Amino acid sequence: MRQGPLTGLKIVEFAGIGPGPFCGMLLSDLGADVVRIDRKGQGRSSPADITSRGRRSIGLDLKNPDAVETCLKLMEKADAVFEGFRPGVMERLGLGPDVALARNPKLVYGRMTGWGQTGPYAHAAGHDMNYIAITGALHAIGTKDKPVPPLNLVGDFGGGALYLAFGLLAGVISARETGKGQVIDCAMSDGAASLMAMFYGFKASGMWKEERRANLLDGGAHFYDTYRCADGKWVSIGSIEPQFYALLLQKTGIEDPDFAAQMDRGRWETLREKLAAVIATKTRDEWTEIMGGTDVCFAPVLDLDEAPKHPHNAARETFVEIDGVVQPAPAPRFSGTPGAIQGPPPAIGAHDREALSEWGFSDGEIESLKGSGALAG
């Protein structure tokens, strides 16, 4: 039994990599019935395939006309569909938005790509780092010497999956009001640019310098940075506001009058060196005991083994363990209709009969698909 605020929403997902599965996970965690179309073939599931959790898999041979027709019938019954292929691939399969919307005028058709459906780069390959490179985001992140990829959080997941989920749900609301579906062109480069809105505002107001580690939020300020402790571990300090900065000086025992010039950019580097020397006198745990949970704006820098065990994360059950795999719990949290991990990552074709039957296919139709070779199992 599915639970969450999206219970009753029916979504078709065409299997992909990176942001597509993550989007499917987010929707499933909140209760949507997400049926994933996998390419026909043997595929075992792994509990470690966290972003595939909670869906049901139908294995289809998309070169088979019966499989294509099956996809279109599923789209007829769906509120939304999403895919992550390069522009033109779904059209060549006979599953493009024009065909799908003709079958279901209320369908919301999400298209996830790095560069978008149009533009000079639309048909080029790329990865997260490339998509955020053209937005200004990658230039702003890193050391003074070079830009550093921020994992694939900014493009794939932030600018891609989250914007796709947002777009799909907005499209469904619109379709329910107007009776008309539409195509969502979700480009990771567009989403990453959108995430940079505040920083373009900083630039326009003269608050942002085109240098890394020279600004308020990029590690340039001594009061917004990470520091190595006596044990080689790290802490994060973000004491921007004057009252929080004053508390930082109190907790660290700093009485040096130079620190009064908090917002003097010309002194940031010198003050960073002085603060680093103080932080290096104690271990990470000692500083956590002194500053943790206070208004210093402080937190220890934890690795992936440590994070789930942190008292705050443990108290909120931010992480859960399923089949021996520690993983993030569903987010955000709803007071009346809480989400849940709806099931384990599925093997390819694990739910051929179950999902098709629940979506309105008769036993005879399912047997016919098996006989034609369109269906995997």
H or E segment to which residue 39 belongs: strand 33-39
Per the annotation, the verdict on 79 as an active-site residue is no
Dig out the tokens for 129 from the structure.
């780092």
Give percent helix, percent strand, percent coil of the chain, each to the nearest 5: 40, 15, 45
| CA atoms of 312 and 298, how far apart (whole Å) | 13
Determine the residue type at 358: E
Which ranges constitute the DSSP H helices of 137-283?
137-140, 163-178, 188-195, 197-204, 242-252, 268-279
| Residue 137 near residue 105 (C-beta atoms within 8 A) | no
CA-based radius of gyration for the chain: 25
| CA atoms of 244 and 233, how far apart (whole Å) | 23
**Strand ordering across the sheet containing 108-113:** 56-60, 33-39, 10-14, 80-83, 108-113, 182-187
**From 156, 190, 218, 352, active-site residue:** 156
| CA atoms of 95 and 76, how far apart (whole Å) | 12
| Residue 359 near residue 77 (C-beta atoms within 8 A) | yes
Is the N-terminal amide bond of 5 cis, ω within 30° of 0?
A: no
Neighbours of 269 (CB within 10 A): 12
Torsion-angle region of 350 (φ positive above 0: left; ψ -120 to 50: alpha; else: beta): alpha
Per the annotation, the verdict on 156 as an active-site residue is yes
| CA atoms of 36 and 167, how far apart (whole Å) | 19
Residues catalogued as catalytic? 127, 156
